Structure 1
Amino acid sequence: MPLHLIKLSVGTESPETLRQWQAYFGGLHGRIFHTTRMTPKRRAEILDDGSIYWVIKGAIRARQRVLDLEEFIDEEGVKYCRIVLDPELIETRTYPHRAFQGWRYLTADKCPPDEKQSRGTDTLPEDMADELRELGLI
């Protein structure tokens, strides 16, 4: 069973703005990755079809498959990890989540479903659906 990561997407307003930023970044570097200080220890579980779930504006709103975890040392001798990501950004059902630093592990039972799998909120405006979810009504 895959293990996932969860990370804040700081400064991003929506999945679309994250998609735009990554398209720009990917154009510069030839691939999409996120650099972090700490390397996940549970590498095999993450690379077994795990994803990174993005918290945008106080809620999980999108995910991307993790393709690789690359450790490297910068010119000052500091160790880092590149989380290499699939270019496809998949929107998820909006799921409220508090802010935190760094990344965290996320088990499959705590992941929101992909938006295309969500039912019953397709016709609601996103802000209304978010408010109803916060109230526990959907």
Structure 2
Amino acid sequence: MPLHLTKIAFGARSYADLESWYANRRSPHLTTRYRPTRWQECLGGSLYWIHDHNIVARSTITGFAQGEDGRWIIELEPRLVPVLPKPKRAHQGWRYLTDRAAPRDLEPGEDLGDIIPGRIAGKLAKLGLI
């Protein structure tokens, strides 16, 4: 089973912003200064996007390459897949996610309505209320 990565959707004010990033890119990829140390285990895994303290979507990782400027390119499938929101704190650097800890994809047509903000959802989960 491949490992997955998590990434903050920095600058996105809403999930719609994240969707528009994908819609407006010709080739979806992400550039970073440092390649994840366990990058080979991430091939075939997904990059999970964190927005407002929730994991909200993912894209499959198709490869890693080094650019001419020395930065690393994480190549992604051009499709953003919404997932069942799961609370996740903000972080710096790369964090890994196993299949067991990754949220499931939303079914076509599945609607969650209003999503509970991540901080509140985390507190409610600790209390066993969700």
Aligned pairs, number: 125
CA distances 1:111-137 after superposition (whole Å, capped 9, x unpaired): 1111229xxxx5652235968844123
Structure 1 residues 58 and 132, CA gap change in structure 2 (3 angstroms): closer
Letter in 2 for 1:97: K
Query: Shift in Å at residue 20 of structure 1?
Result: 0.6
Larger Rg computed on CA atoms: 1
CA distances 1:51-106 after superposition (whole Å, capped 9, x unpaired): 000001111000000111111241xxxx3111111111001111111111122221
Indicate the SS of the match to 1:105.
strand
Q: Tell me if the contact between 1:46 and 1:66 (Cα under 8 Å) persists in the aligned partners.
A: yes
Q: Tell me if the contact between 2:53 and 2:117 (Cα under 8 Å) persists in the aligned partners.
A: no
Indicate the SS of the match to 1:61.
strand
CA distance in 1 between partners of 2:111 and 2:80 (Å): 22
Aligned equivalent of 1:35: 31
Q: 2:66 aligns with which of 56, 64, 71?
A: 71
Percent sequence identity over aligned pairs = 37
Output the TM-score relative to the length of structure 1. Answer: 0.78
Aligned equivalent of 1:50: 45
CA distance in 1 between partners of 2:38 and 2:115 (Å): 36
Query: Shift in Å at residue 31 of structure 1?
Result: 0.5
Q: Tell me if the contact between 2:54 and 2:117 (Cα under 8 Å) persists in the aligned partners.
A: no
Aligned equivalent of 1:17: 17
Indicate the SS of the match to 1:16.
helix
1:2 and 2:22 aligned: no
Aligned equivalent of 1:93: 84
CA distance in 1 between partners of 2:95 and 2:102 (Å): 13
CA distance in 2 between partners of 1:105 and 1:130 (Å): 19
Higher helix share: 1
Structure 1 residues 131 and 102, CA gap change in structure 2 (3 angstroms): closer
Letter in 2 for 1:106: L
RMSD: 2.4
Gaps of 5+ in 1: none
Indicate the SS of the match to 1:108.
coil
